[in-house]
Amino acid sequence: MSEIVAPANIPPAPRSAFRRFLDSDMFYSFIGSPVTVVAAVITVVLVAAALAAPLIAPHNPFDPASLSITDSLLPPAWSHDGTSTYLLGTDDQGRDVLSTILYGMRISLSVGFASVLLAIAIGVPLGLIAGYSRGPIDALIMRVADVQLTFPAILTALLIDGVARGIAGPQAYNDVVFPVLVLSIGLSFWVQYARTVRGSVLVEANKEYVLAARLIGLRPAAILFRHILPNVLGPVLIIATINLALAVITEATLSFLGVGVPPTQPSLGTLIRIGNDYLFSGEWWITAFPGITLAVLVLAVNLLGDWLRDALNPKLR
């Protein structure tokens, strides 16, 4: 009766990378949360709209020649004074609100992305160096970070803006306003990346695989980039998403305060500021539509960031 039988071991057929992605827990939690899906769709639509602004905007609000002051302060198309030429109405210069929103979003998003990239480019390497080398370099970087943290992003951005204004003079300032904006916003955000990356490096650097790499003789730079960096990318991505929302808000705030983009190339914040003066007299659309767009954009990005944080959190898996 007895026969020792070993069970057959047939390995399962390998699945393509795409199939594995669809099966993954991350995608499952994405699909399972309708709010996140909607947020993702909205973000994609808005970003696409912003990128395609020159193609899809009915007017070009940045071209002074195309503006007609007689068309100013027209209400949206569905009000009884509005026309279908200007779907969402016009501002005090006769600019089409819809077109300005599209172009303005373009500016906001490009400044936002660029500043986040700059912050990452500064913060991640500094964090890696600080965490890996410890000692006086680490202390120095962390002290600089401490000083930076004393000032919230708005203040740093305002400061750099003011200094640039002071150095360049009002005329030349307008020419360099975009790099200055990116620089000022980016410089206010690097600390978060540096600290998080440094924390991750401190944890990873004590692990055995790093010790093994050092014993083999790998140079510190190689260890940092090949081994430690992939492990810290998750948190960086999460911060970057939430940062993007914050960068867009900061740019809008700076423009609202009058120290952002020049009035000839208005962004969402500028429009809101212009519209603020007309709120009391009833021309609500100049503030309302850019405001709603800004809010929806930032909300969508924040929701994505929230989902990303939960999905990448190892403790919740």
At 21, which helix (H) or strand (E)?
A: helix 17-23
In whole angstroms, the minimum distance from the beta carbon of 216 to another protein comes to: 29
The reply to whether 171 sits near another protein by the rule CB under 8 A is: no
In whole angstroms, the minimum distance from the beta carbon of 131 to another protein comes to: 20
In the list 287, 307, 308, 311, the residue contacting another protein (rule: CB under 8 A) is 287
In the list 116, 245, 247, 261, the residue contacting another protein (rule: CB under 8 A) is 245
- Interface region with another protein, contact rule CB under 8 A, candidates 72-80, 123-131, 185-193, 295-303: 295-303
DSSP 8-state secondary structure symbol assigned to residue 227: I
The reply to whether 7 sits near another protein by the rule CB under 8 A is: yes
- Interface region with another protein, contact rule CB under 8 A, candidates 12-20, 71-79, 80-88, 276-284: 276-284
- Strand partners for 106: none
8 Å CB contact between 293 and 53 = no
The reply to whether 280 sits near another protein by the rule CB under 8 A is: yes
In whole angstroms, the minimum distance from the beta carbon of 197 to another protein comes to: 19
**b/e per residue, 20-56, with b = 16+ CB within 10 A?**
eeeeeeeeeebeebeebeebbebbeebbebbeebeee
Nearby residues of 196 by Cβ (< 8 Å), 6 or more positions away: 127, 232, 235, 236, 239
Number of residues that bind another protein (CB under 8 A): 49
Work out the number of other CB atoms within 10 angstroms of the CB of residue 279. Answer: 13
Report which residue type is found at 304.
L
The reply to whether 93 sits near another protein by the rule CB under 8 A is: no
DSSP 8-state secondary structure symbol assigned to residue 158: H
8 Å CB contact between 244 and 112 = yes
Within positions 136 to 155, which residues make up the interface with another protein, using CB under 8 A? 143, 146-147, 149-152, 154-155
In whole angstroms, the minimum distance from the beta carbon of 12 to another protein comes to: 11
The reply to whether 167 sits near another protein by the rule CB under 8 A is: yes
In whole angstroms, the minimum distance from the beta carbon of 14 to another protein comes to: 18
Q: Residue 110's closest CA among 177, 64, 166?
A: 177
- Strand partners for 96: 90
Q: Which residues bind another protein (CB under 8 A)?
A: 1-7, 28, 143, 146-147, 149-152, 154-155, 158-159, 161-163, 165-167, 245, 249, 252-253, 256-259, 269, 272, 276, 279-280, 284, 287, 291, 294-295, 298-299, 302-303, 306, 315
